Amino acid sequence: MLSKKNLQLNERGELHHLLAIEGLPRKILERILDTAESFVGVNEREVKVVPLLRGKSIFNVFFENSTRTRTTFEIAAKRLSADVVSLDVARSSTSKGESILDTIANLSAMHADMFVVRHAASGAPYLIAQNVAPHVHVINAGDGRHEHPTQGLLDVFTIRRYKKDFSNLTVAIVGDILHSRVARSQIHALTTLGVPELRVIGPQTLLPTEIERLGVRVFTSLEAGLKGVDVVTMLRLQNERMTGALLPSASEYFSRYGLTPQKLALAKPDAIVLHPGPMNRGVEIDSAVADGKQSVILPQVTYGIAVRMAVMAILAGATR
Amino acid sequence: MKIAIRGGRVIDPSTGVDRISDVFIAAGKIAAIGAPPNDWHANKEVNAAGLVVAPGLVDLAVHVKRGTLATELAAAVAGGVTSIVCPPDTDPVLDEPGLVDMLRMRADAQHSAHVYPLGALTKALGGEQLAELSKLAQAGCIGFSQADAPMIDTQALWRAMQYAATFGYTLWLRAEDFHLAKDGSAHDGEVSSRLGLNGIPSFAETVAIARITELMQGVNVKCHISKISTARGVQMIRDAKARGLKLTSDVSIHQLHLTEVDIGHFNSNFRLSPPLRTGRDRDALIEGVRDGTINAVVSDHTPRPLEAKQAPFGEAAPGATAVELLLSLTLRLAESAKFSLPDALAMITSRAAAAAGIPGGGLAVGAVADVCVFDAGAYRHITAASLKSAGKNTPFIGYELPGVVRATIAAGHLAYEHVA
Distance of CA B35 to the CA centre of its chain: 34
**Which CATH number fits the domain that encloses residue B285?**
3.20.20.140
Q: Using an 8 Å Cβ cutoff, are B303 and B70 in contact?
A: no
Q: How far apart are the first and last CA of chain B?
A: 23
Neighbour-count burial of B207, counting CB atoms closer than 10 A to its CB (0-12 exposed, 13-18 middle, 19+ buried): middle
Question: Whole-angstrom Cα distance, residue A95 to residue A108?
Answer: 20
Compute the average pLDDT of residues A8-22. Answer: 95
One-letter amino acid of B131: A
A4 has a pLDDT exceeding 80: no
For A76, list phi and psi in degrees, rounded to 5: -60, -45
Q: How far is the CA of A217 from the CAs of A120, A193, A222, A226, A314, in angstroms?
A: 28, 17, 13, 12, 33
Q: How far is the CA of A279 from the CAs of A237, A258, B243, in angstroms?
A: 8, 12, 57
pLDDT tens digits, B137-152: 999 999 999 999 999 9
Tell the CATH topology of A2-148+303-315: Rossmann fold (3.40.50)
> What is residue A91's predicted lDDT score, i.e. its pLDDT?
52
pLDDT tens digits, B360-405: 999 999 999 999 999 999 999 999 999 999 999 999 999 999 999 9
Residue pairs spanning A and B at CB distance below 8 A: 92
**Percentage of the residues of chain B whose pLDDT score is greater than 90:** 97
Q: Which residue of A has its CA nearest to B267?
A: A3
Q: Which residue of A has its CA nearest to B313?
A: A123
Question: Whole-angstrom Cα distance, residue A22 to residue A15?
Answer: 13
Cβ neighbours, 10 Å, residue B317: 16
B170 has a pLDDT exceeding 70: yes
Number of domains composing chain B: 1
Closest CA to B224 of B294, B273, B163, B159: B294
In a domain, B18, yes or no: no
Q: Which residue of A has its CA nearest to B305?
A: A98
Q: How far is the CA of A139 from the CAs of A40, A98, A127, A304, B206, in angstroms?
A: 20, 20, 12, 14, 40
In a domain, B372, yes or no: no
> What is residue A2's predicted lDDT score, i.e. its pLDDT?
39
Question: Whole-angstrom Cα distance, residue B399 to residue A70?
Answer: 41
pLDDT tens digits, A50-68: 999 999 999 999 998 888 8
pLDDT tens digits, A198-222: 999 999 999 999 999 999 999 999 9
> What is residue A26's predicted lDDT score, i.e. its pLDDT?
97
Closest CA to A77 of A104, A96, A93, A57: A57
In a domain, B51, yes or no: no
SS3 state at B403: strand
Task: Tell me what the pLDDT averaged over chain A comes to.
Answer: 92
Question: Whole-angstrom Cα distance, residue B370 to residue B363?
Answer: 8
In a domain, B22, yes or no: no
Q: Using an 8 Å Cβ cutoff, are B411 and B114 in contact?
A: yes
pLDDT tens digits, A126-138: 999 999 999 999 9
Cβ neighbours, 10 Å, residue A34: 13
In a domain, B119, yes or no: yes
Neighbour-count burial of B71, counting CB atoms closer than 10 A to its CB (0-12 exposed, 13-18 middle, 19+ buried): middle
Q: Do B310 and A101 touch (CB under 8 A)?
A: yes
Question: Whole-angstrom Cα distance, residue A301 to residue A154?
Answer: 8
Supply the range of the domain harboring residue B293: 56-356
Residue A115's pLDDT band (cuts 50, 70, 90): very high
Cβ neighbours, 10 Å, residue B120: 31
> What is residue A97's predicted lDDT score, i.e. its pLDDT?
52
Handedness of CA B90, B91, B97, B102 (dihedral sign): negative
B10 has a pLDDT exceeding 50: yes
Question: Whole-angstrom Cα distance, residue A154 to residue A150?
Answer: 6
Residue A281's pLDDT band (cuts 50, 70, 90): very high
Dmax over Cα atoms in chain B, in whole Å? 69
Q: Do domains A2-148+303-315 and A149-300 have the same CATH topology?
A: yes
Compute the average pLDDT of residues A301-311. Answer: 97
Q: Which residues of A touch B195 (CB under 8 A)?
A: 122-123, 146
Q: Which residues of A touch B382 (CB under 8 A)?
A: none
Label residues A216-227 b or e (16+ Cβ within 10 Å = b): beebeebeebbe
B15 has a pLDDT exceeding 70: yes
Q: Provide ipTM, 2 decimals.
A: 0.93
**Percentage of the residues of chain A whose pLDDT score is greater than 70:** 95
Handedness of CA A74, A77, A78, A84 (dihedral sign): negative
Q: Using an 8 Å Cβ cutoff, are A297 and A277 in contact?
A: yes
> What is residue A47's predicted lDDT score, i.e. its pLDDT?
84
The β-bridge relationship of strands B170-174 and B186-187 is unpaired
Question: Whole-angstrom Cα distance, residue B31 to residue A111?
Answer: 68
B406 has a pLDDT exceeding 50: yes
Catalytic site positions of B: 300
Residue A3's pLDDT band (cuts 50, 70, 90): very low
pLDDT tens digits, B252-261: 999 999 999 9
Compute the average pLDDT of residues B120-129. Answer: 97
Interface of A with B (CB under 8 A): 1-4, 7, 22, 95-98, 100-101, 119, 121-124, 126-127, 143-147, 181, 184, 208-211, 213-214
B241 has a pLDDT exceeding 70: yes
pLDDT tens digits, B317-367: 999 999 999 999 999 999 999 999 999 999 999 999 999 999 999 999 999
Compute the average pLDDT of residues B300-307. Answer: 95
One-letter amino acid of B103: L
In a domain, B25, yes or no: no
> What is residue A5's predicted lDDT score, i.e. its pLDDT?
64
Question: Whole-angstrom Cα distance, residue B87 to residue A20?
Answer: 40
In a domain, B373, yes or no: no
Q: Which residues of B touch A95 (CB under 8 A)?
A: 307
For B163, list phi and psi in degrees, rounded to 5: -65, -45
> What is residue B405's predicted lDDT score, i.e. its pLDDT?
98
Residues counted in chain B: 420
Domain boundaries, chain A: 2-148+303-315, 149-300
Higher pLDDT: B119 or A100? It is: B119
A244 has a pLDDT exceeding 90: no
Architecture of domain A149-300: 3-Layer(aba) Sandwich (3.40)
Please name the helix (run of DSSP H) or strand (run of DSSP E) that holds residue B405, with its range, or none: strand B400-410
Task: Tell me what the pLDDT averaged over chain B comes to.
Answer: 97
Beta bridge partners of A216: none
Identify each DSSP E strand in B17-60 by its residue range.
17-26, 29-33, 44-47, 52-55, 57-59
Residue A98's pLDDT band (cuts 50, 70, 90): low
Q: Do A123 and B308 touch (CB under 8 A)?
A: no
In a domain, B175, yes or no: yes
> What is residue A243's predicted lDDT score, i.e. its pLDDT?
74
Distance of CA A87 to the CA centre of its chain: 20
Closest CA to A182 of A157, A147, A140: A147
> What is residue A67's predicted lDDT score, i.e. its pLDDT?
85
Q: Do B266 and A126 touch (CB under 8 A)?
A: yes
> What is residue B67's predicted lDDT score, i.e. its pLDDT?
80
pTM above 0.90, yes or no: yes
Q: Which residues of A touch B270 (CB under 8 A)?
A: 3
Nearest to A98 among B262, B265, B307 (CB): B307
